[in-house]
Amino acid sequence: QVQLVESGGGLVQPGGSLRLSCGASGLPFSSYAMSWYRQAPGKARELVAGIASAGGRTNYADSVKGRFTISRDNAKNTMYLQMNSLKPEDTAVYLCNARWGLLYDYWGQGTQVTVSS
């Protein structure tokens, strides 16, 4: 059974930092492309950042470039999202996604990030 478990969310002031983690089990983690998405109330789910299976290639939404960094540790079956210079508009539920080809696509339950003073 595949499980993706996010952690590290919380309440932070504007300009602050958080580090999200996504722990994976039940799948060959190093073979999967991994991504972070987010969904704010009343808005569509959007891609925040993605990282290739081997970790060499990354991509970011324009809104987070230069502030967020995605990484992964295949030995620990874990993906991370370092979020710096947080803004109120970053407030959302952040979800972990694992994808292999077109057939295998898994989601975590999400972790809430709230940026507010």
Q: Tens place of pLDDT for every residue, the chain, 117 residues?
A: 999 999 999 999 999 999 999 999 999 999 999 999 999 999 999 999 999 998 789 999 999 999 999 999 999 999 999 999 999 999 999 999 999 999 999 999 999 999 999
- Residue 41 Cα distances to 66, 78, 86, angstroms: 25, 27, 18
The total of other beta-carbon atoms located within 10 Å of residue 89's CB is: 10
pLDDT value of residue 55:
72
Tokens of 31: 């073979």
